[in-house]
Amino acid sequence: MEQVGANRCFGGWQKRYHHPSSVLGCDMHFSVYFPPQAEGSSALPVLYWLSGLTCTDENFVIKAGAQRLAAELGMIIVAPDTSPRGDGVPDAPDGAYDLGLGAGFYVNATQAPWAQHYRMYDYIVNELPTLLQANFNVSSKAAIAGHSMGGHGALVIALSNASRFSSVSAFAPIVNPMECPWGQKALGAYLGDDKTAWQDYDACHLLRQQGAFLSLPIRVDQGMADDFLDSQQLTRPLEAVSVELDYPAEFHYHPDYDHSYFFIASKIDDHLRFHAHHLGLTDAP
């Protein structure tokens, strides 16, 4: 692993790393914010942030403004890339933004030509946490969050690995990819035509299947001026499932906010405080 960038930020460090990934079969970048407390001897909890379509590991760390409060809370934030990249990694043949590079959808692909490299689920769940534990002073406490496609990834990964995460949150997430155009295109390409294989990556299905056995804190924020709210069926289907199951997830709707990082930057502090409470960093959410 090689450090390729470092910027002093709110008394801590915003750093970027490069490493070869055995899971993805390519070199990967990820970004980490280390708050000032990371210079001490105590291991700190980690918030994983999963970004959306077309993003890299740098979008969130540059645009969201999360470092200020993370520095106060003593929270490490890890932002991986959204897909494998590099020579030999396949991309959408038509250059579409919603498949291939920048659009890994946090699944383990099973279909050619994607299966060799597109295993973002295993990368986030297994390889990246192991790398962090081996190289940094991080505790076993972790939370996960994301936006749009990354919100889908955060919800699916947390719901399938609830014992690994103290909490999960999402901004404008794709919650029912089996029933929306973005999800159907990606899951069909990466997983094939058998829709039973898609269910493992659909937050609505996973919550309905496992909700009775879970105590995972969930928070979702949605802008009401989001151009994709209806066309991609964001947020609302998961809220319907949570109401059906009487699952105590939090859903917050915000007039006039859209799908952009202006929305994320406006509400990121609420998410950091939500996770800090469940990670044991604060007494109150």
117, 152, 259, 277: the catalytic one is 259
Give the closest residue to 145 by CA, choosing from 80, 226, 53: 80
Catalytic-residue membership of 148: yes
Q: State the sign of the Cα–Cα–Cα–Cα dihedral 161, 154, 245, 274.
A: positive
Half-sphere exposure of 205 (CA within 13 A, CB side): 15
Specify whether 246 is catalytic: no
The DSSP element (H or E) to which 8 belongs, if any, is strand 2-9
What is the residue-wise DSSP string for 206-235?
A: HHHHHGGG----EEEEEETT-TTTTTTTBS
The CA distances from residue 19 to 25, 30, 111, 135, 188, in Å, are 11, 9, 25, 12, 30
DSSP class of 202: -
Choose, from 148, 166, 169, 242, the residue flagged as catalytic.
Answer: 148
Phi (first) and psi of residue 280, to 5 degrees:
85, 15
Q: Verify whether residue 147 is a known catalytic residue.
A: no
What are residue 234's DSSP bridge partners?
174
User: Active-site residue numbers?
Assistant: 148, 226, 259
